[in-house]
Amino acid sequence: MSKEQMNPDPAEPVANTAQGDVREDGAATAERQDGQPDAPEGSRIAELEAEIAGLKDQHLRALAEIENVRRRGQRDRDEAAKYGAAGFARDMLAVADNLRRGIDSVPAEARRDDQHVANLIAGVELVEKDLLSAFEKHGVQRVDPKPGERFDANVHQAMFEVENSGQPAGTVAQVLQPGYVLNGRLLRAAMVGVAKGEAVQGQKVDTTV
């Protein structure tokens, strides 16, 4: 065997090596088992980073939704605790009204001249006091405007206008029935008569309330 056969030209590329094809510059190109070249390493890292970012976004959205559900649940529980007894409290207002009507119906002379009547009315007043105390304990407060107080449409209901009341126009002139609020929320508006504006020097005073 000649020397040329034993020592091939080192500059000539060698084909079908165990590492894969060899380019003329001697660098091997790796092949996957399916025969296709592997994706560049940088591209694969970018894909993984994008996938991780997407999963993080989904996770944050899920946490935000859970927090929203928790807050709504807490708000509903708070509402139920503060206003859950509104129906019962509204029904009890008639009891308070009747107690006050009973007290007001007894003339002062009868209380003064008849000890039995005085004792009875004192007992009714005590019941009324206890009822109002129970109301306040559970957040129910009476709205009892005084004559001359400015009309407030948020808690007052105007039933009629009162002429020559001696009160400024647009103020409460008469109280027919007190109102009540439950933890700041209106249960029943106070029914009132509103002072009507009087003509002054040929001009009518605005009575808008």
Alpha-carbon span 98 to 141, nearest angstrom: 17
Give the H or E element holding residue 143: strand 140-143
Q: In whole angstroms, what separates CA 58 from the centre of its chain? A: 27
Q: Is residue 73 part of a domain?
A: yes
Q: Is residue 28 part of a domain?
A: no
Average pLDDT, the chain: 81
Instruction: Tell me: do 208 and 175 sit in the same domain.
Output: yes
Residue-wise pLDDT tens digits, 145-168: 999 999 999 999 999 999 988 899
Range of the domain at 79: 38-83
Q: Is residue 93 part of a domain?
A: yes
Grade residue 200 by pLDDT with cuts at 50, 70 and 90: very low
Alpha-carbon span 131 to 110, nearest angstrom: 25
Give the domain CATH number at 203.
2.30.22.10
pTM, 2 dp: 0.62
The pLDDT value recorded for residue 61 is: 93
Max distance between CA atoms of the chain, in angstroms, equals 153
Residue where a domain stops, chosen among 138, 163, 184: 138
Residue where a domain stops, chosen among 138, 159, 181: 138
CA dihedral angle for residue 122, residue 178, residue 185, residue 168, rounded to 10 degrees: -140
Residue-wise pLDDT tens digits, 79-88: 888 888 899 9
SS3 140: strand
CB 134 within 8 A of CB 141: no
Instruction: Tell me: do 191 and 172 sit in the same domain.
Output: yes
169: closest CA among 150, 155, 154? Answer: 150
Q: What is the domain count for the chain?
A: 3
Pairing outcome for strands 156-162 and 190-195:
parallel
